[in-house]
Amino acid sequence: MESLIREKDFNEAGKGSAEVKNVLKRLGIDPAILRRIAVASYEAEINVAAHSLGGAMLSHIYQDRIHMIFMDNGPGIADIEQAMMPGFSTADEMVRELGFGAGLGLPNIQKNVDALHIVSEAGDSTMLEFLIFFNDNGQ
């Protein structure tokens, strides 16, 4: 599955994640695992809308796992380690007024996924991908 994420389009942002959630629900994925996927996916999707020039998300559903990829058109993350710290945010006024910008999205993604990989640098695009397994032991 694939869906576009437009810059600062908070009416649409979240729809790609909702669509994936609906498909997984129909597949009968365990509700606790489904919740983890929904949280990680939503936070990653909102980040692309809030902090980038726009991008896209891709979901690959396998028998035992989901692999989700979020790519955007920059401007990138200068220091990924710093961005991962709870409370760190560069969200602008508009984004904060909408209730985002607590600096908790990336830590929340980290907490909910089985594997996380971020590739980015200042002035470049950001690629965030994660894996979540469908059974409880994370394998």
Ligand X SMILES: Nc1ncnc2c1ncn2[C@@H]1O[C@H](COP(=O)(O)OP(=O)(O)OP(=O)(O)O)[C@@H](O)[C@H]1O
Instruction: For the chain, list the strands marked E by DSSP.
Output: 2-6, 54-61, 65-72, 115-120, 126-133
Pick the closer one to ligand X by CB: 23 or 53: 53
> Site map for ligand X, 62-81, x if CB under 6 A?
----------x---xx----
- Interface residue with Mg ion, options 47, 59, 112, 126 (CB under 5 A): 47
For residue 85, what are the CA distances in angstroms to 7, 21, 43, 124, 131?
24, 27, 15, 21, 21
Sketch the per residue contact string, 20 through 49, with ligand X: x for CB under 6 A, - otherwise. Answer: -----------------------x---xx-
Bond prior to 31 in cis (omega within 30° of 0): no
Per CB under 6 A, the segment of 7-15, 20-28, 33-41, 87-95 that binds ligand X is 87-95
* 101: amino acid identity, one letter: G
- Burial bucket for residue 51 (CB in 10 Å: 0-12, 13-18, 19+): buried
> At closest approach, how far in Å is the CB of 39 from ligand X?
11
Question: Is residue 112 near Mg ion by the rule CB under 5 A?
Answer: no
> Which strands form 126-133's sheet, in the order they lie side by side?
2-6, 54-61, 65-72, 126-133, 115-120
Which two tokens mark 61? 């559903």
Q: Which is nearer to ligand X, 48 or 66 (CB)?
A: 48
Q: How far is the CB of 67 from ligand X (least distance, A)?
A: 18
Which spans of this chain sit near ligand X (rule: CB under 6 A)? 43, 47-48, 50-52, 72, 76-77, 83, 88-91, 100-106, 126
